[in-house]
Copies of this chain bind each other. A is one copy, B any other.
Amino acid sequence: MPKPPPEQTGSPSPKKADAKSRAKKADKSLDVRMADVAKLAGVTTMTVSRVLRTPDKVSRKTRERVENAIRRTGFVPNYAARSLVSRRSQIVVALFPTVMNSVFSGTIEELSRELFASGYYMLLGETNFDVEVEERLLSGFMGWRPAAVVLVGSAHTATSRRLLESSGAPVVELWNVPERPFDLSVGFNNRAAAYEMTHALHRWGYRRIGFLNLHYPSNDRSIDRQEGYRAAMAELGIDVTADMELTVPFGMESGSNAVRRFLEASPRIDALFCASDSLAVGAIMGTLRAGLRVPQDLAIAGFGNVELASTLVPSLTTVGVPRGEIGRECARLIRERLVGTYDGPSVVDCGFSIVRRDSA
């Protein structure tokens, strides 16, 4: 839990930047209170509060007077006060591994849009694929007494779990479909997706299919994907030798470097299935840079279906993941759970698709 920001030392000597641009500080500040609006409209704060939250409980005439007063004063209700007294904040905490990946940012975008439209605000944190960081963020963010918490994956520290439990807020785990979810879950079956893609590659004529995986200690998704790959290979009766699997860090450059190792091996693999599109794009580029052709010399498949996948030359064969839908579904679950009407299953499977393009 981070320390609170330091005290604001009201330094008496005028600062350069102060003099220059903070003249505005002089005027009203955003401190119109509900009481001011109420006085202007000739009612009590309770009536103003009702106009804002349950307008149909206020008579038309009064409502209009109050709305006018709100407009004239530029009043914006203080959410801190609202959260405090109502004992539930409008904040949803969302912790993602990274925002620098359009796979996640697509979900983030939809999620934040939907939440905002429903009157919630999203506090975003980045875990860097590290459950320890997740715990640290969580213990800070819980100070807002969030209305709900959104996480990616099912791997969390014991402390995180305790915090989540004790908060009583709905918790949505994204991006996979766990057997025994912590609370709610929205995602797709990573194992099945990898299994299907492996089979598809085989169907398209590839035999020595390699697998390039992401290495992160607490990433259950990549473990699932590896399992799916291995299961399919076993079923197909193809031996997965040591030089057919590799585990590397995240990023395109990482994929580009990794593919060289596969290209040098012999007998060479004829297809490489990468656990993320970033790796796959890197792998394609690495292959081209080595003077080889994709897919003729090496076929490559990815996972995620990022925007680039369809634009790239050669375009990328990949697993399509419903990232926008995951965000929207997540927002819907939260909304419904919070108003108490949610009655569906705790795990929502949004499915996936095999998108065949030029690279395999």
Contact = CB atoms under 8 A, between A and B. Distances in A.
A168 B339 contact: no
A336 to B, nearest CB: 9
A249 interface: no
Interface string A75-87: 0111111111000
B99 A108 contact: yes
A129 interface: no
A191 B293 CA distance: 40
A58 to B, nearest CB: 14
A84 B76 contact: no
A265 interface: no
A121 B105 contact: no
A143 interface: yes
Q: Indicate how many identical chains form the complex.
A: 2
A339 to B, nearest CB: 5
Interface string A185-209: 0000000000000000000000000
A237 interface: no
A80 B84 contact: yes
A17 B346 contact: yes
A17 B168 CA distance: 14
Interface stretch (A27-35, A150-158, A211-219): A27-35
Nearest to A137: B116
A162 interface: yes
A5 B298 CA distance: 53
Given A77-B143, A119-B2, A165 B105 contact: no
Given A99-B108, A346-B21, A340 B8 contact: yes
B123 A123 contact: yes
A121 B100 contact: no
A165 B24 contact: yes
Interface stretch (A60-68, A251-259, A268-276): A251-259
A337 interface: yes
Interface string A115-127: 0111111111110
Interface string A154-172: 0000000011011110000
Interface stretch (A223-231, A240-248, A309-317): A309-317
Given A29-B167, A76-B139, A285-B312, A106 B100 contact: yes
A355 to B, nearest CB: 15
Contacts of A120: 5
Interface in A1-48: 1-11, 15-17, 20-22, 24-25, 27-30
Interface in A107-147: 108-109, 112-113, 116-126, 137, 139-145, 147
B289 A5 contact: no
A359 interface: no
Given A119-B2, A166-B29, A311-B282, A76 B143 contact: yes
Nearest to A98: B109
A112 to B, nearest CB: 6
Nearest 7 pairs of A and B residues by beta carbon: A29-B168, A80-B83, A79-B143, A252-B311, A5-B119, A30-B167, A288-B313
